[in-house]
Amino acid sequence: MVYVYIFVMAFVTYLLRVIPLTVFRKKIENQFLCSFLYYVPYACLTALTIPAIFSSTASVISAAAGLVTAVILGFWNKGLFTVAASACVVVFLTERLLGL
Amino acid sequence: MNSEFKRGLKDGLPIAIGYFSVSFSFGILALQQGLTIFQSVLTSLTNITSAGQFAGLQIIVAGGTILEMILTQFIINLRYALMSLSLSQKLDKKVTLWQRFIMAFANTDEIFAVAMSHQKSLTMSYMAGLQLLPVFGWTAGTGVGAVASSLLPDSLCSALNLALYGMFVAIVVPVARKARPVMCVVLIAIVLSCIFYYVPLFQSISGGIAVILATVIAASVGAWLFPVPASEKDMDS
């Protein structure tokens, strides 16, 4: 059953990538649709992160510390790797401080 | 070696390193949630997408329906359709139809961003070089993470679970800081997502559907209140 899920995931993802590149070669003109698609990644990544991030680590406190670290570094325009790695380090240190 | 291909490899290397670290945490998470090493590597090799795989994993673990999986992947990865559309406008005239089928496979957020900032029109050689290392990094990272998950202490796994979210934050926050409409969309998404999660009335809604609803509503409100002018879209892509 897990393989069915994986196949469905891969198939839907590939279709979304391949259809516009091969079939539709015109530009989208509808402004609402364009604007909607422009906002989708930000809305989606945000909804994926919050509130799920708070239950991703051993403690809500360490997750919150990691989130705050990531937001601050993101605000300073640090790269993906720097932000993600620093947030992980802060989670690790926070959990050691909490004695988990 | 073709110089376009070499240039692609060079542009793809930093992406590959970033992908390795994030997919490493995907591998750990996938094993923790009960997938096998082979299944987690297969997922990464066939999908090459962080948010989609991550949400998909939650659905697999929760035993969600196939329809839920299709809808979630469709909404979360809908942005790729827009990216592929933009990419199609920048392709070299010599690129054939079957080459389009190949380069569509790994059109990720980061690869797309780098391809669009490439000075010349995009050839198959360049795209092949650009995508090769990130695909390898993404798949290999998952494999190493999956193998290491049983060896790593719980304390490290707990910290690494945050890596994926850290990357999402790193994508969203810099844009939200610059563009107030994006900030509004992000805040709406946070409020909706929390309502679906914490308000008892909505707790029958599964995680995947909650993400879809929050995304569609927040992005629609954004599109309605702050239509994006054509020039800004080009700048973003």
Give me the sign of the Cα torsion angle B76, B81, B82, B87: positive
Residue B211 sits at the chain A interface (C-beta within 8 Å): yes
Is B127 in the same domain as B30?
yes
Chain A residues with CB under 8 Å of B108 CB are none
| pLDDT, one tens digit for every residue, chain B (237 residues) | 689 999 999 988 878 887 887 899 899 989 989 999 999 999 999 999 988 998 899 899 999 999 999 999 998 888 788 788 878 888 888 999 999 999 999 999 888 878 887 888 999 999 999 999 999 999 999 999 999 988 888 888 888 888 888 888 988 999 899 999 999 999 999 999 999 999 998 888 777 678 888 989 999 999 999 998 764 444 443
Chain B residues with CB under 8 Å of A41 CB are 79, 109, 171
List the single residue in B160, B198, B214 with the smallest CB-CB distance to A47: B214
Range of the domain at B40: 3-160
Is B184 in the same domain as B227?
yes
Is B149 in the same domain as B85?
yes
Residue B223 sits at the chain A interface (C-beta within 8 Å): yes
Residue B48, amino acid = I
Is B143 in the same domain as B33?
yes
- Residue B71: closest CA among chain A residues belongs to which residue? A12
Q: What is the DSSP letter of A52?
A: G
Is B108 in the same domain as B156?
yes
Within 10 Å of residue B32's Cβ, how many Cβ atoms?
16
Residues paired with residue B122 on neighbouring β-strands, in sequence order: B91
Residue B118 sits at the chain A interface (C-beta within 8 Å): no
Residue B99 sits at the chain A interface (C-beta within 8 Å): no
Is B114 in the same domain as B210?
no
Chain A residues with CB under 8 Å of B197 CB are 51
Is B18 in the same domain as B78?
yes
Closest to B24 measured CA to CA, from B137, B114, B175: B137
Distance set, CA B205 to CA A43, B96, B135, B217, B222 (Å):
18, 44, 34, 15, 23
